[in-house]
Amino acid sequence: MNIFVTGGAGYIGSATAEALIKAGHSVTVFDSLVTGHRAAIPSGAKFIHASLDDSHALAETLTSAKYDAIMHFAAFIEAGDSMKDPGKFFRNNLINSLQLMEIAVQAGVKKLVLSSTAAVYQSSEEPLTEESPLGPANVYGHTKLMTEQALDWYRSIHGLHFAALRYFNACGALPGRGEAHQPESHLIPRVLQIALGQAESATIFGTDYPTPDGTCIRDYIHIADLISAHLLALDALDKRDTMTYNVGSGNGFSVREVIETARKVTGHAIPAVESPRRPGDSARLIASPKKIISELGWKPTQTNMQEILSSAWEWHKSNPNGYEK
Ligand SMILES: NC(=O)c1ccc[n+]([C@@H]2O[C@H](COP(=O)([O-])OP(=O)(O)OC[C@H]3O[C@@H](n4cnc5c(N)ncnc54)[C@H](O)[C@@H]3O)[C@@H](O)[C@H]2O)c1
């Protein structure tokens, strides 16, 4: 297939683009490099350096070739940031996605896979199923939920098939690929930066959550497992016009557990400073991935936090500046 990958210079998009190429697909990466890295774009992908808010570039690219599917990764991802500057997130994650849908339909694209998020749900004591109550705790999650809902209208009105993959916390490294955001606010790369001596301490936002150790609990899903979910969803869109899946491992780890495991893996003290809760954080988000397992035959393969951290640590040691030289 010929696949248009927005955000293909980012952490998850670039790794998925590489896997698509290995699986024999043709890939065009469309990325503004606002948070992505040119060096992360897989060789073998065509690259268009432009932003989704550039309707001319988008229309020109999408009509210059026949695309079978879009994988839409491009977005701003920092939930905490979205509680300080909501407009930035509504513009990039929602309005630019609406523009993408509109132009995609005009260009005759029939399938789209959306990077959605666990942040569409309310915090829950129980593992979250796709039927669990929705209720984003932050603007970021809300922009993704609104994008899912808009896509459903484009499906019913224009026949655009779509899959919404609600990822939990992406993590881990693959040969030559790792997580590098600038500035880094995600817990795992952040603690590894401390172990490398690039930052002094980790901040634990909130120690009074109703969880066993008082810190937030998240489900971590390895990037290899996210990639396999995309490949399966892409195939399934041939026969089905809509699907929404949780993509998580089903295991939860608290902030303290991740830091403690990182101390063991790196042998570094990793100082942590406790601070008040941060607006927009949910206490506990753990997936029930039963639906994608039973319907698509997907399976999480890398769920051990020590192994996840070890592979990420190897990547960070070999690439202390991420994708920058
Ligand atoms: N990382 C996670 O834990 C996680 C969890 C749930 C969902 N997601 C979703 O997965 C997707 C990818 O996340 P990531 O961690 O790879 O983020 P990332 O920041 O590494 O990648 C995002 C990419 O999109 C590009 N981009 C952003 N706005 C753009 C625009 N207007 N035009 C063109 N390119 C643009 C950036 O330059 C970057 O390359 C996002 O949609 C995110 O919301 C991520």
In this predicted structure, the answer to whether residue 185 has a pLDDT above a threshold of 90 is: no
Question: Residue for token digits 């129980």?
Answer: 126
**111-117 vs 69-72, strand pairing mode:** parallel
Residue minimizing CA distance to atom 10 of ligand 1: 115
Letter for the amino acid at 77? Answer: I
Cα of 210 from ligand 1 centre, angstroms: 30
| Same domain membership, residue 15 and residue 153 | yes
Ligand 1 mutation target, pool 100, 115, 246, most atoms within 8 A of CB: 115
In this predicted structure, the answer to whether residue 182 has a pLDDT above a threshold of 90 is: no
DSSP symbol at 158? H
**What is the pLDDT confidence band of residue 315, given thresholds at 50, 70 and 90?**
very high
Distances from the Cα of 116 to the Cαs of 23, 197, 201, 214, 233, in angstroms? 23, 33, 30, 27, 13
3-class secondary-structure state, position 40: helix
Cα of 141 from ligand 1 centre, angstroms: 13
Asked if residue 323 is part of any domain, the answer here is no
In this predicted structure, the answer to whether residue 325 has a pLDDT above a threshold of 80 is: no
Q: What is the pLDDT of residue 195?
A: 96
Q: What is the pLDDT of residue 9?
A: 97
| Same domain membership, residue 262 and residue 130 | no
| Same domain membership, residue 205 and residue 151 | no
Cα of 76 from ligand 1 centre, angstroms: 6
| Same domain membership, residue 162 and residue 271 | no
In this predicted structure, the answer to whether residue 286 has a pLDDT above a threshold of 90 is: yes
Asked if residue 277 is part of any domain, the answer here is yes
| Same domain membership, residue 313 and residue 242 | no
Asked if residue 131 is part of any domain, the answer here is yes
Asked if residue 182 is part of any domain, the answer here is no
Which residues are marked as active site?
140
State the Cα torsion 31-32-37-38 to the nearest 10°. 70
In this predicted structure, the answer to whether residue 181 has a pLDDT above a threshold of 90 is: no
Q: What is the pLDDT of residue 192?
A: 96
Residue numbers of the domain that contains 240: 2-171+220-247
Last residue of a domain, one of 247, 263, 284: 247
Asked if residue 176 is part of any domain, the answer here is no
Share of the chain above pLDDT 70, in %: 100
Tell me the pLDDT tens digit for each residue of 96-148: 999 999 999 999 999 999 999 999 999 998 999 999 999 999 999 999 999 99
| Same domain membership, residue 108 and residue 191 | no
**Mean residue pLDDT across the chain:** 96
In this predicted structure, the answer to whether residue 292 has a pLDDT above a threshold of 90 is: yes
CATH number for 21:
3.40.50.720
**What is the pLDDT confidence band of residue 183, given thresholds at 50, 70 and 90?**
confident
Q: Which atom of ligand 1 is nearest to the CA of 14?
A: 16
| Same domain membership, residue 84 and residue 62 | yes
For the segment 29-38, the average pLDDT, to the nearest whole number, is 97
| Same domain membership, residue 229 and residue 202 | no
For the segment 208-228, the average pLDDT, to the nearest whole number, is 97
Rg (CA), the chain: 19
Tell me the pLDDT tens digit for each residue of 143-178: 999 999 999 999 999 999 999 999 999 999 999 899
Distances from the Cα of 155 to the Cαs of 96, 162, 182, 243, in angstroms? 18, 7, 35, 11
Residue minimizing CA distance to atom 42 of ligand 1: 77
State the DSSP H helix or E strand holding residue 170, giving kind and residue range, or none if neither: strand 169-171
| Same domain membership, residue 97 and residue 124 | yes
Asked if residue 177 is part of any domain, the answer here is no
CATH number for 285:
3.90.25.10
| Same domain membership, residue 256 and residue 113 | no
Asked if residue 180 is part of any domain, the answer here is no
**What is the pLDDT confidence band of residue 184, given thresholds at 50, 70 and 90?**
confident
Ligand 1 site residues, Cβ closer than 6 angstroms: 6-7, 9-13, 31-36, 51-53, 73-75, 77, 92, 96, 115, 117, 167, 169-170, 181
For the segment 273-278, the average pLDDT, to the nearest whole number, is 96
**Tally of domains within the chain:** 2
Q: What is the pLDDT of residue 153?
A: 98
pTM, two decimals, is 0.97
Cα of 201 from ligand 1 centre, angstroms: 25
| Same domain membership, residue 92 and residue 26 | yes
Q: Which atom of ligand 1 is nearest to the CA of 51?
A: 32
| Same domain membership, residue 209 and residue 238 | no
